[in-house]
Each structure stands twice: as C-alpha cells, then as structure tokens.
A and B are shown apart, each in its own frame.
Chain A
Amino acid sequence: MKIYDGRKIIPGILIAAVIFSFPFWLNFGKAAVPPKPKLPKEVKNCVEPTPFMRTSHMELLNKWRNLVVRENFRIFAAPDGKDYAMSLQNGCLKCHASKAEFCDQCHKYLDVKPYCWDCHLAPKENK
C-alpha cells in the first residue's frame, strides 16, 4: 500500500496525537486535589443532615427561595427544635462565613458556577 504524501501525513498525525494528548501527559500521575470545604467549628449540624446537604443543598435553596419570596415563610423550624433564618445572606453565611473556603471549594473542583452571587452579596474576605 502506498500513501500519497505519506511523508507529510504520518508526521502530521503524530504531531496531532501529541498535541491532543498533551493535557493528559502534563497531569499524568498527579492526583487532583480533592476539595476541602471548611466547616464551621462552633456549630455541629446544618439545617438538614450532612449527606443530604452535600448532595441536595441546591434543591433546598431553590425550594427555600420560593417559600421566602413567594409564600413569605421566612423561618425554618427544624425537627430538632431550632429556628433558622431561611436566607442565604442572613442565614447560611452566618455559619459558613467564608465563600472561598466553603462554597468555592467544591464548586471550583466540579466547575459549577452557581449564579447566586450575581445578586446575593458574598462576604467580604481578605484576599
């Protein structure tokens, strides 16, 4: 079998393969740093159990924002008897005081960009 212009095509394919797999070789053998969200020290439990919060906090936030804005329910009375303000800025962020050390940890790792912060003000942190 003869490949016309084989001298150009085969090195071309090789170069393309190297460029294409470059990111793979660059990070080869290095494990990505797992996210380490910093949990508040003083408080032991969130409004719901941790596994639920870890997987479904976005659903909870969506549900709460409808309850607050549209139904005017503003306090969550948890089964453990505690009352929580159903508010991102005046609730969640009172314990999770750092966006960079808490929210951003996993969101950056997973490359999700929630638009909460387009309107809601993130705590001012020393950067």
Chain B
Amino acid sequence: MEKSRRDFLKIGGISALGLTALPAFKVLAGKKQPVYKLSDKALKGKRWAMVVDMKKCWEKQEKGVCKDCFVACHSIHNVPQIDNPKREIKWIWTEPYENAFPNLEYEYTAEVLKDKPFIVLCNHCSKPPCVRVCPTQATFQRKDGIVMMDFHRCIGCRYCMAACPYGSRSFNWGDPRPYIKKENMAFPTRTKGVVEKCNFCAERLAVGLKPACVEACKAKALVFGDLGDPNSEVSKLLKSNYTIRRKNDLGTHPNIYYII
C-alpha cells in the first residue's frame, strides 16, 4: 500500500492528538481528588512583623520580674532549659541594650536605655542571611515572610548560626529531652544535632492564633501583625512611633521593631 508523505503526516498528527485524550478525559471526568488545604481560620499575611514597645515592658518589669513571654513560648515549643550558656537553647530572651544594638551604643547613651533588657527573638528578616547559607534548604523563607526551619532537613552544619548576626539560633549539642520539664504533646521536640529558633508560631497562625509570646504578654508590649496591610495595628504603630531595628545597617531588613 502506497502512502503519500502528506497522508503519513496527517495520520501521525491525529495519532499524537489521540495520545492526549486519556489525560484530558481524566481531568474532565472530575474524579474527586484529595485536597490539601489550610484552615479557614488561619491568619494570613503578606509580611508578618512584630512591634515591641519596650516602655510598656519595662513598666511591667518595675513591678516585678516578668517572664511571661519566654515561659509561654518555651513551654509550648518544648524548648529545653539548659543553664550552661555554651549549650543553652533559646527562642526568645533578653539582651542588654548595648548587646542588642551595638551600633547605636556610645559613650553618652541615654540613662533610660543603658543596660536595659530588650526582648529579642528571631527577626524574621526580609533578606535572611541564614536562608542564603543553608546548604540543604532546611531554613527557608515562606511567602508571608516567616523564616522557617524544616528540622527534618537540618544536618547540623551550623552555617546559619554563623550567618545570623543576631544570635537567634541555638544548636542542640545533645538530646534536649532530659532538659524539658513538661512536654507539650501537641508539638515535637528537637533532636541532637539540629539547629533551632523561633518560628513565629507558624503552627498557631495556621489555626488562627497569634504567637504565644504576644498572647502571654499582659503589658501588651508585643504587637504582631501584617505589614502588607496598611490598616493593621503594626503598620499604624510604625507610622506613629519612632522605632529602631537591630543592626539595621547590615541590610538584613529585620521585621522586629522596637519602640523606645
């Protein structure tokens, strides 16, 4: 049987079209596929940020030592309490003004700031150096700005710790479990050989709750919100107050702001 080239190409074309029929049919037939989703209650934002009003915090501190935010965070996230400063694990803690803002400190630093404790945590930088250096992409930046850790992927190389200019990251030199007083069964612990840090309570945002530290602060010194929304509380606070960021000149664009 003689076939012209024209006929051959025609048949070939139609056959190729036929190959697409099954996938197209599968899609159009609309067999119900499983769907992965996020709760409707989840808080959604474009760029999460926190404003810390240190005046409110210090006012509270004058009445007595308040550690509500640390306790809330560390108990919810199973952060071990290790007293040895070389091995300690911390997600949120205090640093004296001179250490938190070394580039703003000078001989005549105002008395109101000198040696004052500042609440510090991961800055969830918009340009996070830890994310750039992580060789396994265990640390990554979410679309809403949260600098998140995938502990499953962390190989414990500690590049991120060297890269972070804020000391926001801690390394588990040993099994943290013996140092956890009361385990929160709803959250995992970490294991020996991984780095950990504040996750801006990603697991709480997903169910519509604000970060644990914000919720625990009775002085309302910690305000959490979305900078992508000009009407959010954080956006308004930033517009109406003079705020500072830690090591602003390094260009990491931290998202934790301080009112002093």
Contacts and interface: CB of A to CB of B under 8 A. Distances in A.
Interface of B is mostly: loop
Interface residues of B, number: 27
A76 interface: yes
Interface in B183-197: 183, 185-192
B32 A89 contact: no
Contacts of A79: 32-34
B150 A118 contact: no
B152 A77 contact: no
Interface size class on chain A is 20 to 34
Interface stretch (B36-44, B219-227, B241-249): B36-44
Nearest to A123: B185
A69 interface: yes
Interface string B143-164: 0000010111000000000000
B152 A69 contact: yes
Interface string A90-123: 1000000000000000000000000100111101
B48 to A, nearest CB: 12
A123 B208 CA distance: 26
Contacts of A78: 34
Nearest to B186: A90
A119 B36 contact: no
Contacts of B166: none
A72 B35 CA distance: 13
B183 A70 contact: no
Interface of B: 32-39, 42, 78, 140, 142, 148, 150-152, 183, 185-192, 202, 206
Residue picked from A86, A89, A115, A123, most chain B C-beta under 10 Å: A89
Interface in A50-88: 65-67, 69-79, 86, 88
Contact of A77 (B35, B151, B191): B35
Contacts of B148: 69-70
Nearest to B137: A70
Contacts of B191: 115, 118-119
Interface of A: 65-67, 69-79, 86, 88-90, 115, 118-121, 123-124
Residue picked from B36, B38, B150, B185, most chain A C-beta under 10 Å: B36
A67 B150 contact: no
Given A89-B187, A118-B191, A74 B34 contact: no
A88 B35 CA distance: 18
Contacts of B34: 76-79
A89 B185 contact: yes
Would you list the 5 A-B pairs with minimal beta carbon distance, nearest first? A73-B36, A118-B191, A77-B35, A119-B188, A79-B32
